[in-house]
Amino acid sequence: MRPSVRYLILLIPLFAMVPVAMCQGSNGHIEAELSGDSRSTIRHVTVTGHRKTKVFIIEREVTLKQGVSYTVTDILSNILITKQNLINTSLFVDVTVAPCNWDRDTLDITIDVKERWYYWPFFYFKPIDRNWNVWINQYDMSFDRLNYGVKIKGDNITGRNDKINLWLINGYTKQIALKYYNPFADRSLKHGYGFDLSYAKTREVNYNTSANQQGFFKDEDRFIRERFYAGLTYSYRKGSVNRHTAKLGFWMDRVDDTIVKMNPGFFKKAISQVHYPELQYTFQHFDVDYIAYPSRGKTVEFNFLKRGIGGPMELWQLNLRASRHWTLPKEFFYSLQAEVGVKLPFDQPFVNQPFLGYGDSYLRGLEYYVIDGVAGGFVRNTFRKEVASVKLRTGLKSRTYGVIPFRFYVKAYGDAGYVYNRNNVAGNMLTNHFVYTGGFGVDVLTIYDWVIRLEYSFNQLNESAFFFHKNNE
């Protein structure tokens, strides 16, 4: 099957699954004769359109307060900030913040929200590979490499932006998982709590990396890897921009003796099973207009991970990710993203070495490769322009889902990175070398934070290919 045909087949159900609506809405206008230094007092802040979300959850994101006097300039800027804060809660498909009833030196603020759906029971269908491109082109869309099952996702279940997830997965990996998180569990709306339980087993294991490709071993008759995790989460969020999260958990990880014989360094010291505690702290600074697809602002994310206490599993990991986004004239945008990390000590077992090519840490154009290591980083540069904005009418009699908006961006980009590894270097030509890529593509932005990325990329190996990504993959 030709790659272009495979992607076309894949995109049809993906777009069919997209729900309906994105953030539009006007911020309203203040009388033209007011100067920026004129002051007005907020009489009332009124919230409409909410059904499930508690009013105090919405009000904590509002930066304009009743009874307080502001300059007109401050009112306009805080209207934008309030809308930004509310959109970034991921509670709403649309938010309108507007001044109204202006009378000399007083006015009201009206906030109208359109809530997202609360529960999502749906069939789960996804390949186990690192990204869709590997599954499509390297494994010819093999159904043997699919996970399928049921995921029950509850968002905003008590109106406090709390979430619950239940996974019942079969296929390539058998998994059951339950997760709950409430970010605003106390009266001050600053402290959050949660828990996470998961159990999984699989018949295939990535036991090594060769030529910067994952090496797999599969046993058709039995499961050869088994994992269990239990953890607790605590979070602190004073305002809307900075977030602190701490997780304390326990892991059990076991592989078959066959894996240990093929790679004695899988867990280190040729052992087949490890049990260890894990402590993780994350600081996030999200000061952007839209977290899922920023066009202005900056983000900073710092992560500290401590895995194990002595013994074969001993890892200290630091990771820093930052981005800056600029809005340019005539609907042009520029984004700069960077990430650096280090894992100590450098002599890590194979399971702790994944670095580039996993999750959202990859260079565009090297999706078919992985680079394992213990230190390094990468930079992404993206220059894009919005070329179209389309509203698709659904025919539904719904103020929230009557229209599906789509935005289209064309872009050009260039990425570069480096990963250091003292182990498993032989035959991995990208390890301990400067790597770089580039390309151009189209991004499609629609409701529920869906971002579809269609990219044609080049790399330093003189390879070029078409790649597909969705959301943060």
In the chain, where the domains are located: 39-115, 119-470
pLDDT confidence band for 30 (50 / 70 / 90): very low
Distance CA 163, CA 353 (A): 31
pTM, 2 dp: 0.86
Other residues' Cβ atoms within 10 Å of the Cβ of residue 464:
13
For the segment 192-197, the average pLDDT, to the nearest whole number, is 98
In the predicted model, is pLDDT for residue 339 greater than 80?
A: yes
Q: To which residue do tokens 């943060």 refer?
A: 472
Percent of the chain's residues with pLDDT above 90? 70
**Distance between alpha carbon 28 and the CA centroid of its chain, in Å?**
31
In the predicted model, is pLDDT for residue 307 greater than 90?
A: yes
Instruction: Name the pairing type of β-strands 464-470 and 204-210.
Output: unpaired
Which of 38, 102, 126 has its CA nearest to residue 134?
Answer: 126
pLDDT confidence band for 186 (50 / 70 / 90): very high
Q: Which CATH class is domain 39-115?
A: alpha beta
DSSP class per residue in 79-114: HHHHHHHHHTTT-EEEEEEEEEEEETTEEEEEEEEE
Distance CA 32, CA 24 (A): 23
Other residues' Cβ atoms within 10 Å of the Cβ of residue 183:
22
Distance CA 228, CA 254 (A): 9
pLDDT at 135: 67
The H or E element that residue 275 is part of is strand 273-288
In the predicted model, is pLDDT for residue 473 greater than 60?
A: no
Q: Which CATH class is domain 119-470?
A: mainly beta
Percent of the chain's residues with pLDDT above 70? 87
Largest Cα–Cα separation, the chain: 81
